Amino acid sequence: MASGVGSIAGIGAAADPRLSLSGQGIDQTTYPQRLLEKLHDPSIPFEEYLHFAKITRAEEDRLYGPGSDYQATDGPATAFIKEKILRKRAQRRTSIEQPRLSISAQGEAQIARPAESGNESGNEKTTQDRKFEPMIISDDEWVQASRAARTATWSAVFYLITTDILGPFSTGYAFSQMGLGPGVALFTVFGALGGYSGYQLWRMYLQLDSDRYPMKGYGDIGFRVYGSWFRHTVNSLQSFQFFLNVALIILTSGQSISQLSKGNLCFIVCMAVCTIFGCIVGQIRTLQRFGWLASWAVFLNLFIIFATMGVMAHSPPNYKLYAASNPDFNINNPDPIQVSGAAPSGLSIVDNVNGLMNAVFSFGGATLFVELMSEMRRPMDFWKGLVCADILIYLCYMVYGLYTYCMQGQYAYNVSYQGVSPYSWQTVGNILGLITGLIAAVLYGNIGIKVLYNNLGRDLLKFPRLESKGGKWIFVFFVPIYWILAWVAAQSVPQINSWIVLVGAGCILQFTYTFPPFMMMGFKIQRDAILPQETYDPATGQVQRVDSGVKRWIRGFKKELWWNLFDLVYYLGSCVTCILGLYAAFTTMVDAYKSSPNLSAWRCESPTG
């Protein structure tokens, strides 16, 4: 699911009853005196993550589960209003009462509170020359701070997963490359496997995330299962996917502007306009400002879907657009529309794989599942949003893809609203698609830059915190560089089909189909290798293990042998599909350069003809 990206803080949020943890069973044994341990500290044992995750899930279930006090309190709307009022009151008191959080050079967390000073008699106090004295954060305060941002409900997660940007408009083209039978079968299989991968990510998150060690991104699961090398691999690929998404949206938005100008505006300029927009609007660092804009994307896209379905039923395909990428096509005497039940004749394995990768692109939301779960009040409920979103997206994509293919046959274009022939409806689709696409590009770019900054800049280049003055200036400087590089990439290969296949095979396939079974195998092997006589002391963080090495891994793998074998086959099959997809992507790029001058780099001629 190519989910839209936005802020889920406040969506379905309600007042948090966890205002105090005293008297709730949180003692020194449960939360030892260890302050702000590095979340990516390789010395923390696997058993420690499991231990604190169990405590956190039990506490969430007590507070928010069936029969809890939260269930009988205010509804989401009332609680949300109360929360806003309390937040504004707290902001007004900030300059007087709020302590200042700082991190020492040794990595210790401290709260600076104003020290009261008085005269010798102690009867008078002065507010002049207040000094701040450090106070170590207590375990209770750290737990509360860790939970403070978790306000989203499963309905909010469902809403964001279904806030799709690019997926539905490529499904008709996908079916035209695979045929009805193979298309339905493969789309169903990949949809089911996408749901299974989401389930795997959810199960690992529940057993590894805790208030003590919160997980914020996909790479955090990789780190806790395989170590730093896999975390850096995941974060780098995630950043690369967001970068390619921005480049792809710049390309589709450029084509929309080109169609709106009827080809009278140089295509390089069309894409440059989108890039300049991103350089300016991308300076907004907080995604919450885009939340309400992103929420409109789902309604605008649904309108485009229903509008194009109606137009396709009463008008022929856009033959001019088809001819732009197929020079041998006779636009004056087009072949009749053909719909094939099996794989269409005249297409190669590369074409079939291209169609498959477009289907894979539809189920690419797993890249952000961990980020979504990290903001949930009760992550145990994530499965509800996942199942509802999976079913809705599968049905919508399947119906829209089949309808587009049956109406336009081999002429189905990627992006579908650009493939209708009436210019008026092209204009409607392009304007609405331009709005949703540019919003999506800014959001993807924002997250992509932050992933690069936090995981590469801070870890490898020792950048300051993004919230600091230096970090803000680095962000301001890097945004235009990021967008210009994306524009250069898109302008060098102005081929939507090639980019979708490349993003699908190189990135989305990994996050949705390759990494989940690979990480699940490693997770279950380590978890199931733990023997009853092995102990973990939460007070010291020490683990007593009976053995180590290959013997331990074999024991863990055999515990759930058939599931692990299935995941192994699933993982290997995904790797093979990745290789086929990358081969098809690069082959399509090369062939497009040879056969269609309009699809070559840095030309004023538009790919839309």
Position 230 in a domain: yes
Can you give the residue range of the structural domain that contains 498? 140-330+350-595
d(CA 172, CA 403): 7
For the chain, the residue count is 609
Indicate the pTM of the whole model. Answer: 0.76
Position 338 in a domain: no
Q: Please give the pLDDT value at position 599.
A: 64
DSSP state of 138: P
Q: Please give the pLDDT value at position 558.
A: 93
DSSP reduced 3-state for 3: strand
Amino acid in position 314: H
d(CA 179, CA 402): 10
Q: List, as one string, the DSSP characters of 282-334.
A: TT---GGGGHHHHHTHHHHHHHHHHHHHHHHHHS-B-HHHHHHH-TT--TTSP
Q: Please give the pLDDT value at position 106.
A: 40
Amino acid in position 507: C
pLDDT band at 136 (very low <50, low <70, confident <90, very high): very low
Instruction: Please enumerate, as own/partner, the contacts of 399-403 that have beta carbons within 8 Å and a separation of 24 or more.
Output: 400/168, 400/171, 400/172, 400/305, 400/309, 401/168, 401/171, 401/172, 401/174, 401/175, 401/183, 401/187, 402/175, 402/180, 402/183, 402/184, 403/172, 403/309, 403/312
- 361-404 tens-digit pLDDT: 777 777 878 878 887 878 888 888 888 888 888 888 899 999 99
Give every CB contact of residue 5 below 8 A, 6+ residues apart in sequence: 160, 287, 294, 368, 440, 443, 444, 446, 447
What six digits make up the tokens of 549? 């090495």
d(CA 399, CA 391): 12
Instruction: Please enumerate, as own/partner, the contacts of 26-34 that have beta carbons within 8 Å and a separation of 24 or more.
Output: 26/139, 26/140, 26/143, 28/539, 29/538, 29/539, 30/55, 30/538, 31/139, 31/140, 31/143, 31/212, 32/139, 32/538, 32/539, 32/540, 32/541, 33/139, 34/541
Residues 496/252, Cβ–Cβ less than 8 Å: yes
pLDDT band at 66 (very low <50, low <70, confident <90, very high): confident
Q: Please give the pLDDT value at position 249.
A: 84
d(CA 49, CA 307): 50
Position 4 in a domain: no
Position 94 in a domain: no
User: Of 205-219, 309-323, 569-583, where does the model show the most confidence?
Assistant: 569-583
d(CA 152, CA 168): 26
Structure-derived torsion over alpha carbons of residues 106, 110, 114, 116, reported in degrees to the nearest 10: -90
CATH number for the domain spanning 356: value is 1.20.1740
What six digits make up the tokens of 405? 């293919």
Q: Which residue has the tokens 């979504």?
A: 372
d(CA 563, CA 158): 28
Domain count across the chain: 1
- Burial (Cβ within 10 Å: 0-12, 13-18, ≥19) of residue 65: middle
Average pLDDT, the chain: 76
Q: Where are the alpha helices (DSSP H) in 493-604?
A: 496-503, 509, 515-528, 550-559, 561-595
What six digits make up the tokens of 377? 């009040």
Q: List, as one string, the DSSP characters of 479-520.
A: HHHHHHHHHHHHHHS--HHHHHHHHIIIIIHIIIIIHHHHHH
Residues 512/578, Cβ–Cβ less than 8 Å: no
Q: Return the sign of the alpha-carbon dihedral for residues 121, 125, 131, 133.
A: positive
Q: Please give the pLDDT value at position 26.
A: 39
Q: Please give the pLDDT value at position 493.
A: 79
Q: Return the sign of the alpha-carbon dihedral for residues 21, 24, 26, 30.
A: negative
Q: Please give the pLDDT value at position 293.
A: 61
Residues 70-99 have a mean pLDDT of: 44
Structure-derived torsion over alpha carbons of residues 597, 598, 601, 603, reported in degrees to the nearest 10: 110
d(CA 495, CA 501): 10
Structure-derived torsion over alpha carbons of residues 500, 505, 510, 511, reported in degrees to the nearest 10: 10
Give every CB contact of residue 463 below 8 A, 6+ residues apart in sequence: 453, 457, 470, 471, 474
- 330-362 tens-digit pLDDT: 777 888 888 888 888 888 888 888 888 877 777
Per-residue CA distances from 33 to 56, 401, 501, 530 (Å): 17, 56, 50, 26
Q: Please give the pLDDT value at position 81.
A: 39
Q: Please give the pLDDT value at position 49.
A: 92
Residues 130-147 have a mean pLDDT of: 48
Position 34 in a domain: no
pLDDT band at 530 (very low <50, low <70, confident <90, very high): very high
d(CA 393, CA 298): 11
User: Of 262-266, 310-314, 462-466, where does the model show the most confidence?
Assistant: 310-314
User: Of 107-121, 415-429, 457-471, where does the model show the most confidence?
Assistant: 415-429
Residue 52: enclosing H or E segment and its boundaries?
Answer: helix 46-64
- Of residues 453 and 18, the one with the higher pLDDT is 453
- Say yes or no to pLDDT of 158 above 80: no
Q: List, as one string, the DSSP characters of 359-423.
A: HHHTT-GGGGHHHHHTTBS-GGGHHHHHHHHHHHHHHHHHHHHHHHHHHHGGG--SSGGGSBS-H
Q: Please give the pLDDT value at position 379.
A: 87
Beta bridge partners of 3: 164
Residue 544: enclosing H or E segment and its boundaries?
Answer: strand 542-544
Residues 191-199 have a mean pLDDT of: 91
Residues 503/608, Cβ–Cβ less than 8 Å: no
Position 10 in a domain: no
Q: Return the sign of the alpha-carbon dihedral for residues 30, 31, 34, 36.
A: positive
Structure-derived torsion over alpha carbons of residues 477, 478, 479, 481, reported in degrees to the nearest 10: 100
- Say yes or no to pLDDT of 18 above 80: no
- Say yes or no to pLDDT of 416 above 80: yes
- The greatest distance separating any two alpha carbons of the chain, rounded to the nearest whole angstrom, comes to 102
Position 90 in a domain: no
- Of residues 183 and 21, the one with the higher pLDDT is 183
Q: Please give the pLDDT value at position 564.
A: 95
Position 69 in a domain: no
